Amino acid sequence: FKRRPDPVWLEWWLRMQLRLSEEQALLSDLDALSTAKLGSGTTGLRPIRWEYAGVAIEHLIQARLIAKGYCVSTPSIDSGYDLIVDWKGVLNRLQIRSSSHAQRNKDSKTSYYRIKANAAGIGNWSVLAVFIVTEDVLYLIPWDVVKDVHTLAIPIGNPSKFDDYKENYNILQTTH
């Protein structure tokens, strides 16, 4: 039988899949083999497709949650959420979003990450998991905090109304 991968190793491996910036738009030698297995092509180094990056981020978040003692499942059908997280019988449905590109506000010098929440009546999820790739930060935001928000703006280097949800895994220990 195959040994289950260690969550720390799995997180490292997934980080390697996501490590290149968009400006480079090429995969490293380590990533080329994985990308070929995912079906992106076998000749030369090619950009990783966004769908694959999204799947890798889902697995990265899964590995982090498992390492912290949560039981994580994936829905067997397309359901409007990405993961089901169980903490001692408390279930939450996670919708995962990510951003790796900062945007600058034209009117000020503030840079921020923009995340499409689609919270207004779409999805049936209970917690929005926002992963900022370049900062290596995960925000776990309950639905009721963003229920009327279409797009989140998380500023870089400035306080944010979402700071209470930054790396706050305890959010998943109560039902939302």
List Cβ neighbours of 72 (8 Å cut-off, separation of 6 or more): 62, 65, 66, 83, 84, 85, 86
Report pTM. Answer: 0.69
pLDDT score, position 155: 85
| pLDDT tens, position by position, 81-140 | 889 999 999 999 998 988 887 887 777 777 888 888 775 556 688 899 999 888 889 999
At residue 105, the 3 state secondary structure works out as coil
Structure tokens at 136: 């290596």
Sign of CA dihedral 147, 148, 151, 154: negative
| pLDDT tens, position by position, 45-70 | 445 566 677 788 888 999 999 999 99
pLDDT score, position 54: 79
User: How many CB atoms lie under 10 A from the CB of residue 28?
Assistant: 14
Structure tokens at 38: 């995912």
Question: Backbone dihedral region of 48: left (phi > 0), alpha (psi from -120 to 50 degrees) or beta?
Answer: beta
